[in-house]
Chain A
């Protein structure tokens, strides 16, 4: 009996210690399937968001620990503020999310891209009014369906377009929890996958049968890109943390002598472009 009590006492001490430790550690929730913003490399979570949050940690004098979780639960957990107070996962700002959490500055603007099988290229590729090649939303009409990662901006855009009166009325949407799975479904149960530019580029890298192009809306004044803006979310009321994040973002958004922002430099680093 005494031994058991001792064991419990020991366990309690351990918990107490780890609880103390948690105080000087900043836990960040992310979904590490969104290269180059967060992805797994050599068993570690790395990416642009990771670099940003490490700088924030430095500023606050805290250790930063990343947790790879399902995209669905990030906003929720941050809103509750118990397990984590920060979510950095290439999150886009929506009205519903704004009611639950506070958002930092927008630190990246990304165009939506469509990933398709190369055999379909001829019927999709189109020279846009801005001189670049792209794909019109309206040419994504398909019987099979379009794949998206649940909760991403691509998902929100597409869900609007497939509703009655949308550009893609009646097209099926295939929801995936991971992008890799979504891409492996092309040709089987989906014809396209829609996602932001950089993850799209990473996903088609080294795959000979796949390609990706930006998505355009056919506007009256010309062709318009469909885009997405990223921000970091924090628990409501965490002003100190939010200020630190915004400070870091401000520094990173400044251009150097070559006109390159710190964020862009990080993006290039993770894309292997520098």
Chain B
């Protein structure tokens, strides 16, 4: 994860901006170097999407299910 994205994530956590966390963790997943890192970040994006009722939740879940990471 880039330093800039890391800072943005920390800021979003500090603000409690869960919608931003969905976006930022999705970006982190897209930029990850390994599968484990990718699905780790995607899981976070998915959880904050679930939390906020974000419509992208089901897409993220579908990706995780296909990868064998979610039921």
**Chain A partners chain B:** no
- A-side residues, CB < 8 A to B, are none
